[in-house]
């Protein structure tokens, strides 16, 4: 627990619980939102080839997860943590370096 707090730069065990709770809620939320979104774009589990359906669905879940992670974190008072350690790093990796002065 001590190493995790040091690595993430957090101070209390309660904050770890909140962060883990945000991860779990956001994962469930992303998969829940991906279902109607795949149907909206015309992909149905019963009528679409699984070799197309599942990669698209997994990609949508990943994108939704990254977008909603700081939002769900905000509701649990952990926006700064999720913005600095996950979303900001992801944006830097895909080429938004000029919008951030420091990592």
d(CA 64, CA 37): 10
Looking at residue 51, its pLDDT comes to 94
pLDDT score of 102 more than 70: no
Side-chain half-sphere of 48: how many Cα atoms within 13 Å?
A: 15
Looking at residue 103, its pLDDT comes to 45
For a pLDDT cut of 90, what percent of the chain falls above it? 50
Looking at residue 86, its pLDDT comes to 72
Looking at residue 96, its pLDDT comes to 67
Q: How many domains does the chain have?
A: 1
Length of the chain as a residue count = 103
Query: What global pTM score does this model have?
Result: 0.77
d(CA 65, CA 78): 16
Mean per-residue pLDDT over the chain, rounded? 86
CA 56 vs. chain centroid, Å, equals 17
Q: Which two tokens stand for residue 67?
A: 């977008």
Q: Which two tokens stand for residue 13?
A: 């065990």
What is the domain range of residue 81?
2-99
């Amino acid at each position: 627990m001590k190493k995790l707090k040091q690595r993430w730069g957090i101070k209390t065990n309660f904050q770890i619980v909140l962060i883990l709770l945000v991860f779990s809620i956001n994962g469930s939320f992303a998969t829940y939102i991906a279902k109607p979104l795949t149907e909206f774009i015309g992909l149905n589990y019963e009528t679409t080839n699984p070799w197309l359906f599942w990669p698209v669905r997994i990609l949508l879940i990943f994108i939704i997860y990254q977008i909603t992670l700081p939002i769900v974190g905000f509701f649990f008072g952990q926006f700064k943590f999720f913005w600095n350690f996950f979303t900001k790093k992801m944006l830097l990796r895909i080429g938004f370096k000029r919008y951030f002065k420091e990592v």
